Amino acid sequence: MLKAMNDRQHYQACFDLMQAVAAYRYESIHRHLEKFGKRESMVHLDVLVLTYHLARICRGSILEIGAFRGGATVAAAWGVRDAREAKKLITIEPGGSLRKHPLATRNILGSLKRNLARQGVAERVTIVEGRSFEPEVVAAVHRALDADQVGLLILDADANCKRDINCYGPKLMDGCWLIIDDYGGSADNSKVSATKTQVDELVNSGRLLPLGYYGFGTWVGRSQGIMLPRAR
């Protein structure tokens, strides 16, 4: 069980995570993530490095909700590749298209699969097609996890992060790492208000512990040993 932290310990945990992410700037993986991220990711380079780091060090499996073209997916897969033990990496993506954007694509799932293949990580990633809350998607994730639990949850889909945390709560390890995008950002980002409100509610209720704010507005923290509602 994740132990309760006093203010000093909380500060130290935040600092240690920042220091760990910064240390990668002197390693080759930082250059690889920078090059790939410029082409394929909406999130800041620091968030890709954070994703790589947590995927490498976390216990348990990794669940990503909202892969898009696979920027963070590839970062997580490289972390799994470089970890000391085997881990499952499952990503949920409904697909579709995105137009009038620097990363526009007519086929999101096609772009995701091509990027995973080009980066040599396709066999490390299980793609579940659909929306995270759909019963058949939830069932597919549970089948893929089998008896494993999730040690890293990455949320970058719609603004209903609380729904997804509740939906997959029974599979989250105590102390599960969480990366939640769109906690902050520009005024024209419609997901920010709802995401921030929901994350703050989970923090204030003691279910999540905040450990940092990275990039353009990505929240990182951990779950805290409180039983989450079971999915219906």
Q: What is the pTM of this model?
A: 0.94
Q: pLDDT tens, 174-190?
A: 999 999 999 999 989 99
Q: Which residues of 197-214 are buried (b: 16+ CB within 10 A; e: fewer)?
A: ebbeebeeeebbbbbbeb
Local confidence band at 1 (pLDDT 50, 70, 90 cut-offs): low
Q: Return mean pLDDT, the chain.
A: 94
Tokens of 221: 């923290």
Question: Could you tell me how many residues make up the chain?
Answer: 232
Distance between CA atoms of residues 109 and 58, nearest Å: 27
pLDDT of residue 225: 65
Q: pLDDT tens, 53-87?
A: 999 999 999 999 999 999 999 999 999 999 999 99
Q: pLDDT tens, 123-176?
A: 999 999 999 999 999 999 999 999 999 999 999 999 999 999 999 999 999 999
Q: Which of 24, 117, 128 is nearest to 67 (CA)?
A: 128
What helix, strand, coil percent values describe the chain, rounded to 5?
Answer: 45, 20, 35
* Cross-strand bridge partners of residue 220: 179, 212
Domains along the chain?
A: 7-223 (3.40.50.150)
Give the sheet arrangement for strand 208-214, strand by strand: 125-129, 89-93, 61-65, 150-155, 172-180, 218-223, 208-214
